[in-house]
Amino acid sequence: MQDDGIRKAGEQAEALFRNGLNCAESTLKATADYLGIQSELIPRIATPFGAGIARTQNICGVVTGGAMAIGVAVGRDIPNGDRATADALTAEYLRWFSQRNGSLLCCDVSGVDFTDEEQSKAFRAPGGGHDAICTPVVVEATMYLCEKLQEKRRIL
CA-to-CA distance for 29 and 13, rounded, in angstroms?
8
Asked whether residue 154 carries a pLDDT value surpassing 90, the answer given is: no
Look at the chain and report how many structural domains it folds into.
1
Question: Residue 156 — very low, low, confident or very high, per pLDDT cuts 50/70/90?
Answer: low
Answer whether residue 152 shows pLDDT above 80.
yes
Please name every residue paired with 59 in a beta bridge, in sequence order, or none if there are none.
Answer: 105
Residue in 23, 82, 76 with CA at minimum distance from that of residue 53:
23
- 1-14: average pLDDT: 91
What is the DSSP code (8-state) at residue 46? G
Of 112, 107, 105, 99, the residue nearest 140 (C-alpha): 99
Q: What angle do CA 82, 33, 20 make, to 5 degrees?
A: 115
- What's the pLDDT tens digit per position in 9-64? 999 999 999 999 999 999 999 999 999 999 999 999 999 999 999 999 999 999 99
User: Distances from the Cα of 156 to the Cαs of 55, 73, 151, in angstroms?
Assistant: 36, 11, 9
Q: What is the per-residue pLDDT for 1?
A: 52
0.75 exceeded by the pTM?
yes
Given a contact cutoff of 8 angstroms between Cβ atoms, the answer to whether 75 and 86 are in contact is yes
What is the rounded average pLDDT of the residues 147-152? 92
| pLDDT for 2 | 64
83-136, pLDDT tens digit by residue?
999 999 999 999 999 999 999 999 999 999 988 999 999 999 999 999 999 999
Return the half-sphere exposure (C-beta side, CA atoms, 13 A cut-off) of residue 140. 13
Q: Work out the angle between the directed axes of helices 84-101 and 61-74 (0-180°, nearest 10).
A: 160
Write out the residue range of the structural domain in which residue 106 sits. 4-155
- The residues near 69 (Cβ < 8 Å, ≥ 6 apart) are 27, 28, 31, 32, 35, 145, 149
